[in-house]
Amino acid sequence: PPVMNAIIGAPSAGGTVPTPVDRAATVVSM
């Protein structure tokens, strides 16, 4: 997914639920 989506924990492009990678990236960014 786009880096910005991962940072803000937004859903991946075309998805409605953040992927595990998105969630992990969000935790790391915090």
The pLDDT tens digits of the residues spanning 3-30 come to: 665 556 555 555 555 567 766 766 665 5
Helix segments in the chain, DSSP class H: 3-8, 20-29
Q: pLDDT value at position 5? A: 57
User: Can you give the residue ranges of every domain in the chain?
Assistant: 1-30
Q: pLDDT value at position 4? A: 60
| Contact in structure between 2 and 14 (CB atoms under 8 Å) | no
Output the CA–CA distances (angstroms, integers) from residue 5 to 1, 13, 19, in the order listed: 7, 8, 10
pTM, full prediction: 0.27
Q: pLDDT value at position 26? A: 62
By residue count, the chain amounts to 30
Q: Which residue has the tokens 């953040």?
A: 18
